[in-house]
Structure formats: structure tokens, C-alpha cells
Amino acid sequence: MTSNQTQTVISPSGQYWLMKSEPEAYSWQRLLSEGKTFWEGVRNYQARNNLKQMQVDDLALFYHSVSEKAVVGVCKVTQTAYPDPTDDTGKWVVVDVVPVETLAVPVTLATIKATEALAAIALVRQSRLSVVPLTLAEFELILSMGS
């Protein structure tokens, strides 16, 4: 590790994600205070497939949906997909994540939509998908907008 910045911005697998949560259901502040969580409750096949592709140390933006509509932090995958303990059917999975950093300035959906370079972002194009992939460029741009 040469610096904090390198640690934050680089995902060894080259994969980057954005994960959505309603702050009323599970907030960034709660993740900060708990230090770790498993990302439960995904009941959508496409989102599940994204979860299954995650590697340890993949980085993900944490997005507050509905009441806030802003990217608020960066988290990191510490455990790849395993069966969702809150699910009886055995069909669904979770991953473990830990918080990495809080954005100095939340990056709002309105700002993202107004940014030309983010026009293709899956957050906007597939607004109902709760776990979406990001390109490195999208990930880095949102991080820089939030710093």
C-alpha cells in the first residue's frame, strides 16, 4: 500500500459496482457504526447475478435511494456470494461489505443525470436494479465529484 488513495480507488479485479439502499432500511451511517454487513434482501435475478460476480476487494459506491437519491460512500467486498441467511428458498445470495470512505460531498442523482460523462450509467438506465456494475471511469468520476 503506497497511499490511502491507491487503496481506495483500485479494485484488483477491475470490477466496480453501485449498490442501492433506502436509508430508512439500511443507511450508510449504520454501516459505518456496525463496521460490516451482509448485503441482504436482493430478490432480483439480474442483481443476484451481479452479486455473484463480485470478487473480494471489489469496490462499490453506496447509494441512498428514494428519500435521498445520492451516492454517499464507498464500500468494499470482503466475502464473495453465499446463501442469503434471510431467505428460505436457497435461491438468493448476499456478499459481505465494509465501509471504506465517506464522500465529502454526496453526489446526487440530479448531478449524475446532468453530467454528460455519466449518461450511460446503469444507475439511470436501469433505475430499478439494486446492484449495478460501473466502469472504472464512472466510478472514478463520481468519487472525484464527491471529494
Partner DNA sequence: GCCAACGTTGGC
Q: Which residues bind DNA (CB under 7 A)?
A: 20, 22, 43-46, 65-66, 69, 109-110, 113, 126-130
For DNA, the closer of residues 22 and 57 by Cβ is 22
Smallest separation (angstroms) from DNA to the CB of 3? 33
CA-nearest of 82, 86, 100 to 17 is: 100
Half-sphere exposure in the Cβ direction for 67 (13 Å, CA): 7
Select 77 or 131, whichever has its Cβ closest to DNA. Answer: 131
Closest to DNA by CB, 15 vs 65, is: 65
Minimum distance from residue 137 beta carbon to DNA (Å) = 21
Sign of the dihedral through C-alpha 21, 24, 25, 29:
positive
Q: CB of 78: closest distance to DNA in angstroms?
A: 23
Expressed in angstroms, the distance from the first to the final Cα of the chain is: 21
